[in-house]
């Protein structure tokens, strides 16, 4: 299991690449939730999500160990982060993406200088292709979450939260494969065990909620949610033990709660965030943990929202919601 020491080492390893992102506040949001609310703005990282923290820690370490070529399988935020840091460090990167990948995301990855390889439409097909490629080319595979260096890198966001909000009482963190929450939970619980760490998942992607409840890794059939960064079908082998050890509670939000939080942050706070990030805001807005008069931080994990999808969300709202 990773420790706070790994996270401090990671911080030294990535500090020149990542941004110490701001913590945003909103009086309306605080009043709405009967708590003092803080949003940790990871949507303002280079490449638009916290993923650059873990990717930089991992890629820099394997580069120091002699890697020249790295491979991953993700058209989303992890793929963009890996492509970006590889370009910066002068490594060759190949990103395996699905045939139906969003063209703007593929263009961003290509823009960072990475090779693109398309393969199938399922994550199983992509992972298999990435593995083949890794062996053939003597490259190094960069996992999206289930890796100690990735987890430690994501945990650096937790170190910043404790520095930026010294009197924080509870932190809401969105869960996909569990890299972000396992890193932050380790950073927080190994220095401030009194601070509550609360995981959040969409009701329709509740694999970690079920796994924690049943005390063992539990997979779900499909994760049919607008939060496209949270579609992992089960927690990771390395991330789940950390969730069991350090996460106080996991709460669930509905699809409507997610879009309502996204629109609130856009309209009232002038920040464009993505659905996976809105999940953590939604939990605070609907006060899932039942907290009052506390200092609450929601981690806004990313801001890569496709504008056509945003238009769909806004077009679907009733005028009442928009002017409230
Ligand atoms: C990857 C991602 C998540 C989930 O992170 P995990 O480490 O897989 O739990 C949440 N939000 C955004 C925006 C992401 O890119």
Model pLDDT for residues 74-132, shown as the tens digit of each residue: 878 999 999 999 999 999 999 999 888 888 889 999 999 999 999 988 888 898 999 99
What is the position in ligand 1's atom list of the atom closest to the CA of 174? 10
Q: Is 243 in the pocket of ligand 1 (CB under 6 A)?
A: no
pLDDT value, residue 320: 58
Distance of alpha carbon 136 from alpha carbon 102, whole angstroms? 27
Is 26 exposed, middle or buried, given 0-12, 13-18 or 19+ CB atoms closer than 10 A? Answer: middle
Contact present, 47 and 69 (Cβ < 8 Å): no
Distance (angstroms) between ligand 1 centre and the Cα of 252 equals: 16
CA dihedral 46, 47, 50, 54 (to 10 degrees): -90
Residues paired with 69 in a beta bridge: 92
Mean pLDDT, to the nearest integer, of 211-229? 92
Which residues, 6 or more positions from 107, have their beta carbon under 8 angstroms from its beta carbon? none
pLDDT digits (tens, 9 = 90+) for 257-276: 999 999 999 999 999 999 99
Note if 129 is an active site residue: no
- Catalytic residue, from 36, 40, 51, 212: name it: 51
Strands (E), the chain: 23-25, 36-41, 69-72, 92-97, 115-118, 140-141, 170-174, 196-202, 249-253, 295-300
pLDDT value, residue 231: 82
Note if 298 is an active site residue: no
Contact present, 78 and 53 (Cβ < 8 Å): no
Distance (angstroms) between ligand 1 centre and the Cα of 293 equals: 28
Q: Count Cβ atoms below 10 Å from residue 134 Cβ, excluding itself.
A: 20
pTM of the model as a whole: 0.96
Residue 173: which of 248, 231, 75, 266 has the closest Cα? 248
Question: Which residue ranges form the domains of the chain, and what is each CATH number?
Answer: 4-49+147-322 (3.40.50.1100), 51-141 (3.40.50.1100)
Mean pLDDT, to the nearest integer, of 152-159? 98
pLDDT digits (tens, 9 = 90+) for 171-186: 999 999 999 999 999 9
């Amino acid at each position: 299991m990773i420790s706070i020491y790994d996270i401090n080492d990671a911080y030294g390893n990535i500090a020149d690449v990542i941004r110490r992102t701001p913590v945003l506040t909103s009086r309306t949001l605080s009043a709405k939730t009967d708590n003092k609310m803080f949003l940790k703005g990871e949507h303002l990282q280079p490449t638009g999500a916290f993923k650059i923290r873990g990717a930089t820690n991992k890629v820099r370490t394997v580069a120091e160990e002699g890697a020249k070529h790295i491979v991953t399988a993700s058209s989303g935020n992890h793929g963009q982060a890996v492509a970006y840091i590889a370009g910066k460090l002068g490594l060759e990167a190949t990103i395996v993406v699905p045939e139906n990948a969003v063209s703007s995301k593929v263009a961003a990855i290509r823009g960072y200088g990475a090779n693109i390889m398309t393969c199938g439409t399922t994550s199983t097909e992509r992972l298999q292709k990435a593995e083949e490629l890794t062996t053939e080319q003597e490259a190094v595979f960069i996992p999206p979450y289930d890796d100690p260096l990735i987890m430690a890198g994501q945990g650096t966001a937790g170190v910043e939260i404790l520095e930026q909000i010294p009197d924080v009482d509870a932190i809401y963190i969105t869960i996909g494969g569990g890299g972000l929450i396992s890193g932050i939970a380790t950073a927080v619980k190994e220095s401030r065990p009194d601070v509550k760490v609360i995981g959040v998942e969409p009701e329709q992607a509740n694999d970690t909620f079920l796994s924690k409840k049943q005390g063992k890794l539990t997979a779900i059939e499909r994760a049919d949610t607008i939060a496209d960064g949270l579609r992992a079908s089960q927690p990771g082998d390395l991330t789940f033990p950390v969730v069991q050890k350090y996460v106080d509670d996991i709460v669930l939000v509905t699809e409507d709660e997610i879009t309502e939080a996204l629109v609130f942050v856009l309209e009232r706070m002038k920040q464009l965030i993505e659905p996976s990030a809105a999940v953590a805001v939604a939990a605070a807005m609907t006060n899932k943990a039942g907290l009052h008069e506390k200092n609450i931080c929601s981690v806004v994990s990313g801001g890569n929202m496709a504008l056509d999808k945003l238009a769909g969300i806004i077009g679907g709202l009733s005028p009442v919601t928009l002017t409230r």
